[in-house]
Amino acid sequence: MPLAIRSSAFSEGAAIPVQYSCDGDDRSPPLEWDGVPEGTKSLALIVDDPDAPDPAAPKMTYVHWVLYNLPPTLQGLPEAFEPATLAEPVGEGINDWRRTAYGGPCPPIGRHRYFHKLYALDTVLNGLLRPTKSDLERAMRGHVLEQATLIGTYAR
């Protein structure tokens, strides 16, 4: 079975509920996954929006969340996940609000797509300190066993 990611809060291509946005409580949605391949040593999650600032004329991909070194035995993240709740050290990178935390959808115009990308890695990533998405992608290069994506949308 291939790696798959989903949420009980929204389905593939559907609207993300307001409580997971800047218009609500700005808390992370629940995520579940399965199909973690054999040999996986850690998981990474990147949530980003390729439609910024305007879906009709996107100029950048806005990063909402960067997590890495999630244990491969983990089957998902609860709503309002806090990395410190896990016994094993989970790394959290810097989003485009320049903070290490989940930042929910907050599009200035139009309906944006939010990609929740889960990566199964053949290693634990060491030596990273509050990496950006680019830093994490560089560190993951050559170590991705599988990737799965869940896309939700949001408009204000």
- CA 108, CA 133: separation in Å to the nearest integer? 22
| pLDDT score of 86 | 86
- CA 99, CA 141: separation in Å to the nearest integer? 24
| pLDDT score of 88 | 74
| pLDDT score of 87 | 76
Q: In degrees rounded to 5, what are phi and psi of residue 11?
A: -100, 170
Q: Residue 75 burial by CB count (10 A; 0-12/13-18/19+): exposed, middle or buried? A: exposed
Per-residue pLDDT reduced to its tens digit, 23-46? 999 999 999 999 999 999 999 999
Computed over every residue of the chain, the mean pLDDT equals 96
Confidence of residue 144 (pLDDT cuts 50, 70, 90): very high
Query: How many domains are contained in the chain?
Result: 1
Asked if residue 53 has a cis previous peptide bond (ω within 30° of 0), the answer is: yes
Span 103-115, average pLDDT: 97
Q: What is the CATH number of the domain that holds 94?
A: 3.90.280.10
pTM (predicted TM-score): 0.97
- CA 153, CA 92: separation in Å to the nearest integer? 23
Range of the domain at 8: 4-154
